[in-house]
Each structure stands twice: as structure tokens, then as C-alpha cells.
Amino acid sequence: MKELEYPFNSEEIIRRKKQFRKQLLKNPGLTPLKIAVLGGATTNDIVKIMELFLLNYGICPEFYESEYNRYYEDAMFPNPELEAFKPDIIFICTFNRNITSYPEIGDTSDVIAGKLENEYTRFENMWKMIASKYKCTIIQNNFEYPFFRLMGNRDASDPHGRVNFITKLNMRFNEYADSTENFYIHDINYISASYGIEKWSDPFYWHMYKYALSVPAIPDFSFNVSNIIKSVMGKNKKVLMLDMDNTLWGGVIGDDGADNIETGQETPIGQTYSEFQSYVKSIGQLGVLLTLNSKNDEETALEGLRRDDSVLKPDDFVLKKINWMPKSENLIDSAKDLSLLPDSFVFVDDNPAEREIVRANVPGAAVPEIGDRPEHYINIIDRSGFFEVTNLSKDDMKRNEMYKVNAKRMESLKAFTDYGEYLKSLEMKAEIQDFIPAYMSRISQLTNKSNQFNLTTKRYTQSEIEAVADNDSYITIYGKLADKFGDNGVVSVVVGHIIGDECHIDLWIMSCRVLKRDMEFAMMDILVEKCLSKNIKSITGYYYPTAKNAMVKEFYALQGFEKVFEDEEGNTRWKFELDKDYIKKNKYIHIENSGK
């Protein structure tokens, strides 16, 4: 819904929230999610606006909301209602008004240190209690700065100042988040500053309604926390697709020539485009795939990136669609080339007509309204939260290189007429074994990101992954795949639930970048091996259709399963009878360190 995309009209969102909600609930394929909001202030409208943004991301939230300022009691003491709710996420929505004891001017340094420790420990004890009891993701607000400074500028440097105290407390929160899995900071300290602290903290709303932020600021607040939730749920965009003329540089390279486009440090406008290019390059370092989509002669256009003062170079892009085709078609073709869905893309173009064509013809692709002023490009893309980082693994940071290497594999394929010979030439090696702590984060991430090769559409938080790994009634297998071109990292996950002498597949997923490489057969071979070792007599698999996973509709048939049930919606159940004469299906991958 365009009205919920940044930059949005907060007043309109608040005024039309019921109308937007009704419209968004009609969207198909919404992912259910249980969120408990434990508030230190009134949270009613925060929850309502959060719901809109989450629905817009394809998430259908169900909320538990604490009574006013009962966040600590709900977390720390028995709470049958919250326990029965079984939250997937607990959001602790506290503000600087919930700090119980600030430094006073007469306090000694020891007293101030004690107050800081007591304040932090109260929260840390709460986080640990929640993690122990609910084993769910935790999101915690940090603290916004106060709307007044008793000592003026000295408030930031003097230990007696509230600004100084909040800064130190926020740093302690950050240190905990950096060392704790499934715990995320909602940075209202930044958002409030960006919004304007005086407008954000208008005391009228506290004294009248017990809102710790002004009502007009609620959409900014709710959008920001929704981006964290969206990221945890694997709903981030994966590709940044860029136009070139007047997007990466000033001018039209076909008319002006590479020497005359504006980039580099010689002019203010050139500096603006260089700063944007630096931002784009940094996004690529997060693991976001960078691609080009430009109406141009390819060689002419690439000369703009070959300039000595161009921050971005041709090799920074995993895919280049530089031609005279409609950009909407180029985007769809790019998605096919990368084995991704078109809704994984963010399309950035200075031309409003091109933006509208892509928006109309590629549903789900993000098309930010960047306007026509390049000095605003960074702010709009950055604040839109397309690539919100909740976990940053080594695989993430290597993703651009992985896709570039994948292009080399595809190029190598052209030299072969026999596909089997091509697979042999890759010299593939796989590590397939039980879940291990080193990969828990990546495994959880993969369960939330994989859309096309996900047979049951089930998602797991990291704590849930850790729980099934520790449960003897489950079989858990991950698969890593490498070849002569490089390492793909963890690309496949299977979770099976043992009931009697049967194994029921709760989850089978695989990264689409290793499709048709025999990895699914290698995973099946190890799954059978593990089942036989536990005297399991049959494996039952399930397929639940979505708009995105049609490619695996017949997956179990290819593995030799027999279909035993199908309903009107296309949900199917499959069965595979086990015996010791099972013939392994993988022919081309050498298995190393297979399960224990």
C-alpha cells in the first residue's frame, strides 16, 4: 500500500487507520505472528499503527497488550494470560519516563554509578526472565533524550546530567544486544532525534493521555519497530536495482559522454552523486545484491562506472540489464536470472514515469519515491527500512560474491552438452549433519528467507531452532555446499518430528541459488540414513501451497514418495516407506562430515 511507504503522511495514517486495516486484511497469504507489547506508557495507538505496517509487509499480527505501565510485572511474575498467549515476539515499549532514578546534582560519583547499575540490572533481569520463560525474540526500546537539559550543553558531559545518564544506559543496552541472540534494540534515541525531540516529547500527550511520545510521532515509531519485526520474519528485500542516468550520476551519458557526466569531487552535484554511490556500495557490503537496469547502450553506460572518480565499478553489480527493453521486463528477467522473486527487488529510478511503470507491472517490488533531488536519495532509501539488519552473518557479507560466482557456474554450463558432466565438473562437496551452534543463526535466517523452496512455509525463530536441535524427538539436518568456484554456505535445512516409528517433515527448505545441483537428493540420502539409524519405518512429507512455492509442488514425487492425501486447497501429504535397500539418489556431490 503506497500510503504506508516512506515518506508517508502520518496524519492520514492516523485518520484512515480503520479503512487501511480493512483493505490490508484482504491480502492473501498473510503470515500469522503473536506479539506481546509490554508498555511503560499508553500503547493502544502504537499497536494499531504497528498492525498496519506489519499487514503491509505480509504479516498478520495478533497482539497481547499489557495494562498501562505494567511491563515489569507482566515480565517478572506469573502471568497465565501471557503464558497462554505464547508470544513469538515480546516488545518492551519503555521510554525515558520509565527510568526510576536519575542522578541529582548533589550525588557523588559512586551514587550515580549505583543508580546506573540498578537501572540497567532491572532491565537485564527482565530480559533474562523473558528469554528463560518464553524463549522468544525480544525487542527493547532504548531511551530517547529528555526534552530539557538542566545544565544546558554540560548535561551531555557531566555525570549528573540526564543526557549523560541516558547515553551511558543506552550503551549498556547496546552491549547486551551485541552479545545476545534474539534480542534487538529499537533505536528510538535516533528516531526521536530525527523527528525532533521537542515535537516527539511534547509533554501535553503525557499529562493528558500518558503517551510518552506525541500522537503525530506514532507512525514514525511504529514503522521503525515494524521494520525490525519484518526483518526477523525474513521479509527484507534482497536486491537493490538501480537506474544509471541521473540516478548514479548527473546527466545522460549517451548525450553528454562519460567525460561530461557529473560525479566525483569537482562540483557540488558531483559530490552528491558520489556520496550516493558510496552509500550504495555500503549496502552491497551488507549482502544486498546490486543490479543495474538502464535504457542505454551497454558499453557507453559502463564507461560512466569506469571513470577513475566513480565509487561504483562494473564489478560491484551481480547483474546488468542495460538495453532498450521496458524496465519492468528487465526486472522480471533479472529475478529469473537470480532465482529470486520479483518482490525481492527495490527499484530506484529518478524518472517518475519509469517508477510508475514498474510499480504497475511488477506487484510486490518496492519502488521508493526518491524524487528528483539526489541529495535526498540516501535519506529516503535508508529510512524506508528495505534492508533492516537484525543478523549479519559471514554468508550475508559474501552474498554478492556468491552470486557473481554463480554467474561463472552458469557461464561454465554453456561449454557442456551433458548436464551430468557439467555437475561432475563442479567438483561439489557438501557438509550435511546435525544442527550445530555455529550455524543456528544462519539456519533460522534461512527458514525465514526461503519462500520458493519451502514446502510447509513454516518459520522458526533462533530460539525455536535451538529448542528442536536439543530435542531427541526431532531430526535436524543442515547442508553446506561448496564447489570449485566457491563456498555457498548453509543452503538447506530439514526438520523432522519423530512420532512412534514415523518421521514427519515439519520443514524442508533450500536456497534457490543451488537449484538443480543434486543438493536435495544429498539431503534426502542423509535424512534416510538418520531415520534408519533410529529404526524409523516411514517418512511423511507435507506440501502447503502458497503464491510463491509452486516450484516444489511435486518435490516429494521426485524423491520417490507416494501421495496419500490432497484437499481442495491443494495441500498434500506424502509417504515414503523405508527399508535397508534404499538406493542413494545423489550422484554428483561428495559428502563430507555427514551426520553423527
Beta strands in 40-195 (DSSP E): 59-65, 89-93, 137-141, 183-186
Q: What is the pLDDT of residue 596?
A: 44
Torsion angle of the four alpha carbons 253, 258, 262, 263, in this order, in degrees rounded to the nearest 10: 120
When computed from its CA atoms, the radius of gyration of the chain, rounded to whole angstroms, is 26
Counting runs of H as helices and runs of E as strands, what totals does the chain give? 24, 17
Residues 220 and 102 in one domain: yes
Residues 285 and 152 in one domain: no
Residues 228 and 243 in one domain: no
41, part of any domain: yes
pLDDT digits (tens, 9 = 90+) for 538-573: 999 999 988 788 888 999 999 999 999 999 989 999
506, part of any domain: yes
CB 158 within 8 A of CB 109: no
**Phi, psi of 340, rounded to the nearest 5 degrees:** -125, 170
326, part of any domain: yes
Task: Say which DSSP state 366 is in.
Answer: B
Residues 6+ apart with CB under 8 A from 35: 50, 61, 62, 63, 64, 87, 88, 89, 90, 91, 229
Cα–Cα distance, 111 to 499 (Å, whole number): 58
Domain end, chosen from 214, 232, 250, is at: 232
Domain of 355, CATH number, reads 3.40.50.1000
In this structure, what C-alpha cell is assigned to residue 229?
Answer: 519485526
In this structure, what C-alpha cell is assigned to residue 595?
Answer: 551426520
Domain enclosing residue 338, as ranges: 239-384
Residues 212 and 258 in one domain: no
Q: What is the pLDDT of residue 203?
A: 97
Q: Is 182 left (phi over 0), alpha (psi -120 to 50) or beta?
A: left
In this structure, what C-alpha cell is assigned to residue 398?
Answer: 559474501
Q: Which helix (H) or strand (E) holds 489?
A: strand 486-499
In this structure, what C-alpha cell is assigned to residue 139?
Answer: 525487542
Residues 467 and 358 in one domain: no
Q: Into how many domains does the chain fold?
A: 3
Cα–Cα distance, 185 to 589 (Å, whole number): 42
Domain of 439, CATH number, reads 3.40.630.30
* CA distance to 81, 139, 214, 254, 462, per residue, from 38 (Å): 13, 10, 19, 57, 21
pLDDT digits (tens, 9 = 90+) for 367-409: 999 988 999 999 999 999 999 999 876 666 667 777 777 777 7
Q: What is the pLDDT of residue 211?
A: 97
In this structure, what C-alpha cell is assigned to residue 337?
Answer: 536470472
Domain of 60, CATH number, reads 3.40.50.1110
> How many CB atoms sit inside 10 A of residue 337's CB?
16
Residues 279 and 250 in one domain: yes
372, part of any domain: yes
389, part of any domain: no
Torsion angle of the four alpha carbons 378, 384, 389, 395, in this order, in degrees rounded to the nearest 10: -70
Q: What is the pLDDT of residue 140?
A: 98
Q: What is the pLDDT of residue 581?
A: 82
537, part of any domain: yes
Q: What is the pLDDT of residue 52?
A: 98
Q: Is 205 helix (H, G, I), strand (E, B) or coil?
A: helix
| Residue in 434, 475, 484, 485 with CA at minimum distance from that of residue 593 | 434
392, part of any domain: no
pLDDT digits (tens, 9 = 90+) for 204-245: 999 999 999 999 999 999 999 999 999 999 899 999 999 999
The whole model's pTM is what?
0.82
Domain end, chosen from 200, 232, 264, is at: 232
Q: What is the pLDDT of residue 395?
A: 66
Task: Say which DSSP state 268 is in.
Answer: H
| Residue in 397, 433, 243 with CA at minimum distance from that of residue 328 | 243
Domain end, chosen from 206, 232, 258, is at: 232
Q: Are strands 89-93 and 538-543 parallel, antiparallel or unpaired?
A: unpaired
Residues 336 and 300 in one domain: yes
Residues 217 and 264 in one domain: no
CB 113 within 8 A of CB 165: no
Residues 356 and 427 in one domain: no
Report residues of the chain scoring pLDDT below 70: 393-398, 450-451, 593-596
Cα–Cα distance, 224 to 78 (Å, whole number): 30
Cα–Cα distance, 586 to 377 (Å, whole number): 48
* CA distance to 496, 545, 565, per residue, from 560 (Å): 17, 20, 15
> How many CB atoms sit inside 10 A of residue 565's CB?
11
Residues 432 and 518 in one domain: yes
Question: Sign of the CA dihedral 395, 398, 401, 405?
Answer: negative
| Residue in 550, 595, 558 with CA at minimum distance from that of residue 576 | 558
CB 68 within 8 A of CB 41: yes
Cα–Cα distance, 350 to 250 (Å, whole number): 11
CB 85 within 8 A of CB 34: yes
Length of the chain: 596
555, part of any domain: yes
Residues 288 and 414 in one domain: no
Cα–Cα distance, 197 to 302 (Å, whole number): 45
Residues 266 and 309 in one domain: yes
